[in-house]
Amino acid sequence: MMKKRILVATIAALAATGAQAADMNKVLRVAFNVPETGFDPAKVSDTYSGAILENVFDPLVTYDYLARPAKVIPNTTVALPTVSADGKVYTFKLKPGIYFAPDAAFKGQKRELTAADYAYSIKRHLDPTINSPWSFLVDGRFAGVDALVKAAGKGALNYDTQVEGIRVLDKYTLQLTLNEGNYNFLQILAMPAFGAVAREAIEAYASNTNAKPVGTGPYTLKEWKPGNKIILEANPNFRKLVINGQTLPKVGRVEVSIIEEEQPLWLAFVNQQLDISGIPQAALQEALVIDPKNPLNVKLQDKYAKQGIQLERKKDLEITYQFFNMQDPVVGGDAKEKIALRRAIAMAFPRNETIAAIRRGQAVPVHYVIPEGVAGHNPAFKGAVKYDPAAANALLDRFGYKVGADGLRTQPDGKPLSIEMATGTSGIDKQWNEYWQKAFDSLKIRLTFKYGKWNELNKANRQNKLQMWGLAWGADYPDGENFMQLLYGKNAGDANSANFKNAEYDRLFEASLQLPDGAERNKLYDAMNKIVVAQQPWIFGDTRIRSSLAHRYVKNFKLHPLLNTTWRYIDLQK
C-alpha cells in the first residue's frame, strides 16, 4: 500500500512538470532470457513474443497498472462494453482518433483504428490457414462463426462475410455475440493476442507477418535480430494517453537483448548495461538476503540497497504439478489400490526440500488447483498431502503392493511395478529427477525416466504414451476457470494432460461456468478440489516467486500480475 502511494505520488509530482511526449533520448535496456519467436498476434504464444505484442498492439481492454487485484479497464474503447442481460452480447465503442503506426502498407496515409480491425483480428484466430495457438480461447465461442470456419475448410477464412457473433455496427462500434455467457470474456480480450492488426498491413507482409508488426500501441518495432535484439521506438502516432497527469510513454526507445545465460544477464544488470532485470537463480544469494527461517522474507543485499537498486517481487499466477495419466493401466483408474499408489507417491515426494534446494526458497507449495491471485483461489484449502514416506509405504503395504525378492514392490496382482516418468534433459531437470528417484527409492518402486524434448513428450502424452510428467500452467487470464478446466473431462488429451475424467467434477465445472466470481462459484471450486484431492490425478507442485530489480534512476517501476511488461509507464531519470 505504501509503495503504491509512493508511486502515485511520484507520478503526480512528475505530472506537475507538465505532460510530455516520449523522450527519444531515453533508452530503456532490458533483457529476455529466452528467445522470442515473432510478433504476429495470431501466430505466437510464448511469453517473450507476447511482451513485445503488448507494446505494439492495442487490445480493446487492458489492465489498470496500479490496481490490485488486477482490474480490467477500457483501452481503445470509450468505456467498458455494454453487456446484454443474458451476458451474451458485448458492445464496444471505440475512441475515435486512434491511429496505427506509420507504415508503408498505408501508402502514406494516416490509418485510423476502426471496429473492423478488431473484427478482422479476432477472426484471424479462427482462420484455418493461420493455426492460431490461441484458437482454443475463441473456438466455438461466437455465434454463427462455426459455420464460417467450416465453410473455409482448410483454406483461408472469408473475412468479408458478416457473422452474427462478430459484427461491425459502424466505424467505431463492434458487437460480439457469444454462444454462451462467459464471465471471463473481457479478460480474454485483454490478452496481447487480441490486439488490433490492420488488414492491409497483414496482407502487405503476408509472407512474413511475424517480422512486420504494425499496431496502434505505444511502441513500434524498429529493428529485430531474432534471438539477439529487439528494438522498439515510440509510436509517433500513439494517441495521447495520460495517466495521473503523465503523458505516456515516457521512454522513447526500448532495447531488448536476449541473454540466455545467467551470469552475463546478472553482470550486465550490475554493470548498468541493463536498467531492469530479473534475478537469475544463480545470483539469488548474491542479490538478496534470504531469511533462512522464512525464505519468502527477503531484502536486497546492502551493497545493492545502497546503490538505490529497487526490488519488486511477485508471485506468479501459476501452478506446477506432476500428473498421472489416468488412462494408464498401472497408475491410472479409480480403483482404490490405484488411488493408494498415486497417494503414496505424492506422500513420498519431498516438496519442501525441492522448494528449498531447487527454488532456493523462492516458491510456495500449491494446495489448490487455482493459484493465489486468481479469482476462485481458496487460501484455507490445504489440498496437498503431507510428506510422510513411512505412511506412504504403509499405504502401499495395505493395498497389496508387496516387496519382492529383488527388494522392489510388485503390483497387487503380482506383476512387476515399474513407473516411467517423462522428463527433459536440462540441468534443472536432472535436479528434479534426483528428488523423484529418492522418493521412488523410499517406496521401493522402480522408476525409469523417459527423456525428451518438450514437443516430443507433449506428442507422446497426447498419444496416451506417458505415465507421469511434470507441467506448469500460467494464467492466460486471472480467473479460476482457466485452471479448473485443466481437469475437465472434455479437455482430456488436450489441456487436461492427466486424461482425468470424473462425472461429478465435470458436472460441477459446467455449473461453475454459469456463475460469476463469488461465494457460490467458490463452493463449486472447493468441491472440485476435494475430488482432485481424493482421486489424486496430480501431485501438487509449487508456485514460483519472481524478483525483479531496477536501478535507482528507473522511475515508476512496479510489476503487474498479468502484464508482461510495464515499459510504457517507466521513466528514466539518470
Partner 1 sequence: MLAYILRRLWQMVPTLFGVMLLLFILFNWVGGDPSYILAGKSFSAETLANIRHQLGLDKSLPEQFLIFVQQVLTLDFGTSWSTQQPVADILGSRIGPSLTLALPMLLVSLLLSVIIAAIVAYVRGSLTDRLVTLICTLAMSVSALVYIIAGQYWLAHKLGWFPILGWSDSLATNLWLYVPLPLLLGLVVSLAPDIRFYRSCFVEEMNHDYVRTARAKGLSEQVIMLKHVMRNALIPVVTSLMMSLPYLFLGALLLERFFGIPGMGNEVLNAVDRSDFPVIKAITIYVALATMLFNLLADIVYKLIDPRVQLK
Binding site for partner 1 (CB under 8 A): 35, 37-38, 43, 45, 128-129, 131-136, 139, 154, 207-211, 225-229, 257-261, 263-264, 267-268, 270-271, 273, 452-456, 458-459, 462, 473, 491, 494-495
CB of 326 to partner 1, least distance (A): 18
Among 242, 245, 222, which Cα is nearest to 234's? 222
Percentages of the chain per state (helix, strand, coil), in multiples of 5:
35, 25, 45
Given a contact cutoff of 8 angstroms between Cβ atoms, the answer to whether 376 and 522 are in contact is yes
| Pairwise CA distance, residues 316 & 462, whole Å | 27
How big is the chain, counted in residues? Answer: 574
Of 477 and 569, the one with the shorter C-beta distance to partner 1 is 477
Given a contact cutoff of 8 angstroms between Cβ atoms, the answer to whether 104 and 204 are in contact is yes
Of 434 and 494, the one with the shorter C-beta distance to partner 1 is 494
Of 31 and 408, the one with the shorter C-beta distance to partner 1 is 31
In order of 245, 247, 274, the CA distances from 17 in angstroms are 10, 11, 27
CB of 167 to partner 1, least distance (A): 25
CB of 311 to partner 1, least distance (A): 20
CB of 549 to partner 1, least distance (A): 15
Say if residue 249 is preceded by a cis peptide, omega within 30 of 0: yes
Of 171 and 462, the one with the shorter C-beta distance to partner 1 is 462
| Pairwise CA distance, residues 135 & 126, whole Å | 6
Please work out, in degrees rounded to the nearest 5, the angle formed at the alpha carbon of residue 564 by the alpha carbons of 97 and 214: 40
Consecutive H or E run containing 299: strand 298-300
Residue with cell 510478433: 39
Of 52 and 298, the one with the shorter C-beta distance to partner 1 is 52
CB of 444 to partner 1, least distance (A): 33
Of 220 and 496, the one with the shorter C-beta distance to partner 1 is 496
| Pairwise CA distance, residues 238 & 284, whole Å | 38
Ramachandran category for residue 409: left, alpha or beta (phi over 0 → left; psi -120 to 50 → alpha): beta
CB of 166 to partner 1, least distance (A): 20
CB of 302 to partner 1, least distance (A): 19
Among 206, 188, 231, which Cα is nearest to 56's? 231
Query: 14: Cβ–Cβ under 8 A, 6 or more apart, which residues?
Result: 245, 246, 555, 571
Question: Is 168 in a helix, a strand, or coil?
Answer: strand
Residue 26, CB-side half-sphere exposure with 13 Å CA sphere: 21
Fill in the DSSP letter of residue 226. Answer: T
Of 207 and 294, the one with the shorter C-beta distance to partner 1 is 207
Of 167 and 551, the one with the shorter C-beta distance to partner 1 is 551
Of 13 and 282, the one with the shorter C-beta distance to partner 1 is 282
CB of 373 to partner 1, least distance (A): 20
In order of 358, 359, 465, the CA distances from 298 in angstroms are 17, 14, 43
Of 172 and 205, the one with the shorter C-beta distance to partner 1 is 205
Q: Dump the DSSP string for 45-73.
A: -SHHHHHHHHHH---SEEE-SS-SS--EE
CB of 145 to partner 1, least distance (A): 15
CB of 319 to partner 1, least distance (A): 14
